[in-house]
Amino acid sequence: VGWVSWNMTINTLHLGLTAVNYDGYVFQESPMRFWDLVDKFGLTIAYIWNSTLEFMETHGWTPSKFPYHLLLKRL
C-alpha cells in the first residue's frame, strides 16, 4: 500500500476528515471483519485491494447481504 496510504492520509487530514487505518489480516476474527469495520466506524470511503474484494466475492462474503454496505459511497 505504501505511497497510496501516504497520499490518502495527507489528503484526508488536509480536508479535516477522519482516517481509519487497519493493519493486519482483515479476515482474522471473522470473514465479515471488513464489513464490520465499515459498520462500526461508519465508513463512507474505503480503500481495499481488488484481489481482496475478489476473494470475498468468491467466498460469498459480500455486503449485499448486510444493510451497512449502504454507508459506502466509494470502494
Supply 62's cell numbers.
Answer: 459480500
Distance CA 69, CA 35 (A): 7
pLDDT tens digit sequence for 4-29: 677 777 888 888 887 777 788 888 88
Residue 68 has pLDDT above 70, yes or no: no
Residue 75 lies in a domain: no
Residue 75 has pLDDT above 60, yes or no: no
Residue 11: which domain range? 4-70
Per-residue pLDDT, 35: 83
Q: What is the DSSP secondary structure assignment for residue 32, as one 8-state letter?
A: T
Residue 35 lies in a domain: yes
Q: Report the domain count for the chain.
A: 1
Would you place residue 44 in the very low, low, confident or very high pLDDT band (cuts 50, 70, 90)?
confident
pTM, full prediction: 0.66
CA-based nearest residue to 35, from 23, 18, 48, 17:
48
